[in-house]
């Protein structure tokens, strides 16, 4: 089984500051981490590999320093790391990013075998669009399974796949077929700890580094800024609505009395609700 996991190096949002005037993110001196959602994807991929055998290839697009994230992924036990880096990718939005990553996944398939799975996190913590995974799936014609909370069954021989995904108001159980792209939901697993062996292997490993040409991208027009229709018009912090909390008068301080007062107030403000609920 060959599994490709797409990861992204992001600034550690816990330590990020926003410029008070321009409202842009001040990345200087902020440590970078693997996008936390991608770690759930990576762990799920590693578990599938451990169960069925095969290889996990991690892929990222970014500046040369994104290599750190790939090494980290190798520490957790990934078998191979590919860094897609080229100046022509600078300024990519989600459309251009998914174009470049899809091309690189094709190249990975040609080189080490067509992947059965492509994994991504559900979204990144810096962009929060959740668009790149679906973009890759669409371009590669993979079955697209987003917000997956659990992989219930995998039958590599028949290619049958059963997953649970979070949907509004509940959990959907979906049956699909390989090859598939899965975007993994947070909290689905815990990334394993790397052993000393893995840490040393990762630090010594050769990172496969491709520019656009090496990744087999001939047409550069859909890449980078040129290939990105998204334009940031302005960035602003929403004004907090400074409303004073209202107080509801209660008959007493016993829990029942407080609850009664709150419910009465809700019913007063939403006429018809009481009838609807209690009818």
Partner 1 sequence: MPTYTAPLRDMRFVLYDLHGGGRLARLPGCEECTPEVIDAVLAEAARLCEEVLFPLNRAGDEEGCRLADGAVATPKGFREAYRLVREGGWTALACDPAFGGQGLPHAVKVLVDEMMCSANLAFALTPGLSFGAYAALYAHGSEALKARWLPPLVDGRWTGTMCLTEPHCGTDLGLLRTRAVPQGDGSYRVSGTKIFISAGEHDLAENIVHLVLARLPGAPTGVKGISLFLVPKLLVGEDGRPGARNGVSCGAIEHKMGLCASPTCLLNFDGAAGWLVGEPHKGLRAMFAMMNLERLAVGIQGLGLAEAAYRNAAAYARERLQGRAPSGAKCPDKPADPIIVHPDVRRMLLTQRAIVEGGRALAVWTALALDDHARHPDSDRRREAGDLAALLTPVAKALLTDLGFEAANLGMQVFGGHGYIRDHGMEHYVRDARVTQIYEGTNGIQALDLVGRKLPAHGGRLLRGFFHPVAAYLDATAENAVLAEFTRPLAKAFARLQQATAHIARAGLKNPDEAAAAAADYLHLFGLVALAYLWTRMAEIARTKAEDDGFHRAKIGTARFFMDRMLPRTAALSAAILAGGRSVTGFDEGDF
The residue count for binding partner 1 (CB under 8 A) is: 15
- Asked if 242 interacts with partner 1 (CB under 8 A), we say no
Interacting residue with partner 1 among 25, 95, 106, 199 (CB under 8 A): 199
Return the number of the residue (20 or 169) whose C-beta is nearest partner 1.
20
| Pair of tokens at residue 134 | 């679906």
The Cα 161–Cα 181 span in angstroms is 11
Minimum Å gap between C-beta 104 and partner 1 is 24
Interacting residue with partner 1 among 21, 153, 204, 231 (CB under 8 A): 204
Are 15 and 31 spatial neighbours (Cβ–Cβ below 8 Å)? Answer: yes
Count CA atoms closer than 13 A to 173's CA, side-chain side. Answer: 3
Return the number of the residue (72 or 80) whose C-beta is nearest partner 1.
72
Return the number of the residue (25 or 199) whose C-beta is nearest partner 1.
199
- Asked if 21 interacts with partner 1 (CB under 8 A), we say no
170-177 and 180-184 strand pairing? unpaired
What are the Cα distances from residue 222, in Å, to 62, 63, 229? 16, 18, 10
Return the number of the residue (69 or 120) whose C-beta is nearest partner 1.
69
The Cα 271–Cα 279 span in angstroms is 14
Q: Which residues contact 57 (CB under 8 A, 6 or more apart)?
A: 2, 3, 4, 5, 78, 79, 80, 81, 82, 108, 112, 115
Interacting residue with partner 1 among 51, 195, 216, 259 (CB under 8 A): 195
Interacting residue with partner 1 among 65, 90, 167, 203 (CB under 8 A): 203
The Cα 175–Cα 156 span in angstroms is 14
- Asked if 69 interacts with partner 1 (CB under 8 A), we say no
- Asked if 169 interacts with partner 1 (CB under 8 A), we say no
- Asked if 196 interacts with partner 1 (CB under 8 A), we say yes
- Asked if 194 interacts with partner 1 (CB under 8 A), we say yes
The Cα 263–Cα 104 span in angstroms is 57
First to last CA, the chain: 56
Minimum Å gap between C-beta 259 and partner 1 is 30
Minimum Å gap between C-beta 68 and partner 1 is 9
Minimum Å gap between C-beta 121 and partner 1 is 19
Minimum Å gap between C-beta 197 and partner 1 is 5
Interacting residue with partner 1 among 21, 22, 29, 278 (CB under 8 A): 29
Measured on CA atoms in the order 198, 201, 203, 208, is the torsion positive or negative?
Answer: negative
- Asked if 50 interacts with partner 1 (CB under 8 A), we say no
Closest CA to 55 of 70, 44, 45, 67: 45
- Asked if 198 interacts with partner 1 (CB under 8 A), we say yes
Positions that interact with partner 1 (CB under 8 A): 29, 71-72, 75, 193-200, 202-204
């Amino acid at each position: 089984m060959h599994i490709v996991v797409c990861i992204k190096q992001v600034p550690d949002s816990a330590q990020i500051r926003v410029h008070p005037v321009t409202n842009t993110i001040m990345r200087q001196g902020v440590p970078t981490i693997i996008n936390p959602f991608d770690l759930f994807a990576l762990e799920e991929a590693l578990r599938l590999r451990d169960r069925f055998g095969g290889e996990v290839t991690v892929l990222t697009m970014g500046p040369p320093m994104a290599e750190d994230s790939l090494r980290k992924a190798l520490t957790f036990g990934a078998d191979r790391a590919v860094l897609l880096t080229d100046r022509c990718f600078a300024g990519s939005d989600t459309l251009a990013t998914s174009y470049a990553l899809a091309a690189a996944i094709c190249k990975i398939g040609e080189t080490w075998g067509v992947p059965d799975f492509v994994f991504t996190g559900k979204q990144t913590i810096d962009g929060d669009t959740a668009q790149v995974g679906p973009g890759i799936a669409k371009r590669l014609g993979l079955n697209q399974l987003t917000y997956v909370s659990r992989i219930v069954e995998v039958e590599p021989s028949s290619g049958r796949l059963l997953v649970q995904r979070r949907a509004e108001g509940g959990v959907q159980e979906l049956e699909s077929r390989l090859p598939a792209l899965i975007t993994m939901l947070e909290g689905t697993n815990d990334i394993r700890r790397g052993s000393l062996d893995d840490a040393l292997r990762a630090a010594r490993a050769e990172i496969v580094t491709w520019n656009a040409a090496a990744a087999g991208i001939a047409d550069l027009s859909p890449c980078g800024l040129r290939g990105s229709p998204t334009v940031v018009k302005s960035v602003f912090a929403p004004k907090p609505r400074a409303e004073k909390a209202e107080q509801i008068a209660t008959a007493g301080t016993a829990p029942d009395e407080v609850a009664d007062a709150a419910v009465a107030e809700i019913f007063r403000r939403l006429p018809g609700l009481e009838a609807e609920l209690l009818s």
